[in-house]
């Protein structure tokens, strides 16, 4: 009994953890991959010493301390202004748009590996936690062999796509099988991992949402609104990178049908990306220019206001060349703000939405189905309130950063 108590007390002792990631906020207010930063923040409150190693980008500091977090950023190409592989649209999209960046891939891996070894010796690291299998998971795997340190790999979904390249399949299997623990953000991502290897160390731990930042205001529980509030009530919101996978074109194509039933409906699109010009041209083709606004990238701290001011949030993601929405954190943010949500029935979105209970699911690439679901929410206060109320409960029970941080902390405590 005493030995069991000692083991439990030992598990509570904080660990020194090196987080390997290829995407991390580069400066204050940077909207890049906020979920990795948010997770690190929560883990630091659990008594763990969190050190982050991320790629450098032009204009970012090589080393800085934010709160309890120590961040190192490694250079991988010279001159540094030509470091273009990471950030912006993401590694894979960047490679598709600029094939010359392939020469930076081995340099990124080698620089990450060398810097991991240096920081491990300097900081006396207990655990290496890699986000995304390639390249961070591979780096952690090599360091496991060299340094005899346990490592965790967190799969976010997009990093499994390279498994379609036979040359990488063996490497992915080794990383996943040899990891001391493997976490995934949704059942869909778990299925993708199981297609590669039948590892028994798999655990579904989604990314979370900060309930201190994303929360509702009084109006979400007030059904007796003035008529003057109707314009606000008919506001539709989409947030995300403007890439094909997000399916924003189907949302725009749905607008003419929405406007037939709700003439004062407006759509606001927050985000930027390679599809923006095409989407703006589509609004002209569909004759909805006056009812659709493109706001570009919005600072993360301002997003709650957009969610709260919207009647409906829509994530119309699709399956694009085998890739799809691994989870849909923006859905969680909208739900936490008390906004009714609509999402495509693909990837990890069904992990969040229980159709008709806390949101509505739609068939992907189906503008008509999308329009009907949006109209139903805009014109039915009771349905919208029911979904927003249940959605808020879902986030609080399953997706708060406090709960997610606790699950990862317990995972750390169980490692040697």
Per residue in 302-346, pLDDT tens?
A: 999 999 999 999 999 999 877 889 899 999 999 999 999 999 999
pLDDT at residue 130, as a whole number: 98
Q: Is there a single domain that holds both residue 191 and residue 136?
A: yes
The overall average pLDDT reported for the chain is 90
Whether 12 is in a domain gets the answer yes
Q: Is there a single domain that holds both residue 164 and residue 222?
A: no
User: Does residue 220 surpass a pLDDT of 80?
Assistant: no
pLDDT at residue 171, as a whole number: 87
Residues 266 and 294: beta-carbon distance below 8 Å: no
pLDDT at residue 154, as a whole number: 97
Domain membership of residue 299 as a residue range = 218-398
> Shortest CA distance to 312 belongs to which of 340, 270, 280?
340
In this prediction, residues 295-303 reach a mean pLDDT of 89
Work out the angle between the directed axes of helices 166-178 and 138-147 (0-180°, nearest 10): 50
pLDDT at residue 57, as a whole number: 96
> Shortest CA distance to 177 belongs to which of 198, 203, 195, 207?
198
- pLDDT digit string (tens) for 343-371? 999 999 999 999 999 999 999 999 999 99
pLDDT at residue 231, as a whole number: 41
Q: Is there a single domain that holds both residue 246 and residue 198?
A: no
Q: Is there a single domain that holds both residue 243 and residue 145?
A: no
Q: Is there a single domain that holds both residue 310 and residue 405?
A: no
Q: Is there a single domain that holds both residue 142 and residue 224?
A: no
Q: Is there a single domain that holds both residue 391 and residue 247?
A: yes
Q: Is there a single domain that holds both residue 204 and residue 293?
A: no
User: Does residue 3 surpass a pLDDT of 70?
Assistant: no
Q: Is there a single domain that holds both residue 84 and residue 222?
A: no
Q: The CATH number of the domain where 297 resides is what? A: 3.40.50.2000
Whether 77 is in a domain gets the answer yes
Whether 49 is in a domain gets the answer yes
Q: pTM, whole model, 2 decimals?
A: 0.86
User: Does residue 284 surpass a pLDDT of 50?
Assistant: yes
Task: Band the pLDDT of 30: cuts 50, 70, 90.
Answer: confident
User: Does residue 226 surpass a pLDDT of 60?
Assistant: no
What percent of the chain is predicted at pLDDT more than 70? Answer: 92
Task: Band the pLDDT of 159: cuts 50, 70, 90.
Answer: confident
Sequence length of the chain is: 416
Whether 213 is in a domain gets the answer no
Whether 166 is in a domain gets the answer yes
Q: Is there a single domain that holds both residue 120 and residue 266?
A: no
Kindly report whether the peptide bond that precedes residue 172 is cis, defined as omega within 30 degrees of 0: no
Residues 49 and 2: beta-carbon distance below 8 Å: no
Q: Is there a single domain that holds both residue 371 and residue 230?
A: yes
pLDDT at residue 88, as a whole number: 83
DSSP element (H, E) containing 362: strand 360-362
CB atoms within 10 A of CB 100: 9
User: Does residue 268 surpass a pLDDT of 70?
Assistant: yes
- The tally of domains found in the chain comes to 2
What are the start-end ranges of the H helices in 353-400?
Answer: 367-379, 381-398
**Residue 302 CA: distances (Å) to CA of 133, 222, 307:** 31, 23, 9
> Shortest CA distance to 39 belongs to which of 60, 13, 21, 62?
21
In this prediction, residues 208-230 reach a mean pLDDT of 62
> What backbone phi and psi angles, to 5 degrees, belong to 320?
-125, 110
Q: Is there a single domain that holds both residue 265 and residue 379?
A: yes
> Shortest CA distance to 287 belongs to which of 309, 312, 269, 260?
260
């Amino acid at each position: 009994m005493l030995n069991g108590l000692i083991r439990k007390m030992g598990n509570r002792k904080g660990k020194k953890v090196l987080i390997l990631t290829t995407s991390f906020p580069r400066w204050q207010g940077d909207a890049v991959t906020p979920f990795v930063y948010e997770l690190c923040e929560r883990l630091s409150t659990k008594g763990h010493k969190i050190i982050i190693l991320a790629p450098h980008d032009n204009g970012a500091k090589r080393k800085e301390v934010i709160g309890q977090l120590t961040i190192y950023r490694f250079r991988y190409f010279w001159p540094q202004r030509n470091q273009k592989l990471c950030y912006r649209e993401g590694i894979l999209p960047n490679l598709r748009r600029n094939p010359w960046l392939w020469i930076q891939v081995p340099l990124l891996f080698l620089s990450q590996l060398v810097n991991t070894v240096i920081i491990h010796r300097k900081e006396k690291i207990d655990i290496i936690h890699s986000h995304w299998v390639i390249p961070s998971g591979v780096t952690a795997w090599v360091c496991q062999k060299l340094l005899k340190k346990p490592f965790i790999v967190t799969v976010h979904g997009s990093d499994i796509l390279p498994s379609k390249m036979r040359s990488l399949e063996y490497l992915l299997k080794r990383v996943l099988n040899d990891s001391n623990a493997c976490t995934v953000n949704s059942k869909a991502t778990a299925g993708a991992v199981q297609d590669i290897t039948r590892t028994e160390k798999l655990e579904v731990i989604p990314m979370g949402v900060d309930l201190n930042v994303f929360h509702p205001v009084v109006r979400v529980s007030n059904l007796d609104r003035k008529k003057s509030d109707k314009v606000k009530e008919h506001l539709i919101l989409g947030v995300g990178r403007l890439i094909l996978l997000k399916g924003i074109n189907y949302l725009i194509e749905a607008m003419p049908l929405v406007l037939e039933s709700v003439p004062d409906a407006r759509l606001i699109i927050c985000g930027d990306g390679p599809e923006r010009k095409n989407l703006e041209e589509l609004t002209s083709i569909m004759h909805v220019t006056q009812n659709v606004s493109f706001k570009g990238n919005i600072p993360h701290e301002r997003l709650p206001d957009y969610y709260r001011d919207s009647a409906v949030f829509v994530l119309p993601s699709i399956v694009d060349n085998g890739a799809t929405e691994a989870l849909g954190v923006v859905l969680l943010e909208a739900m936490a703000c008390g906004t009714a949500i609509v999402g495509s029935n693909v990837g990890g979105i069904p992990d969040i939405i229980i159709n008709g209970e806390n949101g509505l699911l739609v068939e992907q690439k189906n503008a008509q189905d999308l329009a009907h679901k949006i109209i139903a929410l805009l014109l039915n206060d009771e349905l919208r309130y029911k979904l927003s109320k249940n959605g808020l409960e879902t986030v609080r029970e399953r997706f708060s950063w406090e709960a997610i941080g606790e699950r990862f902390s317990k995972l750390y405590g169980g490692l040697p």
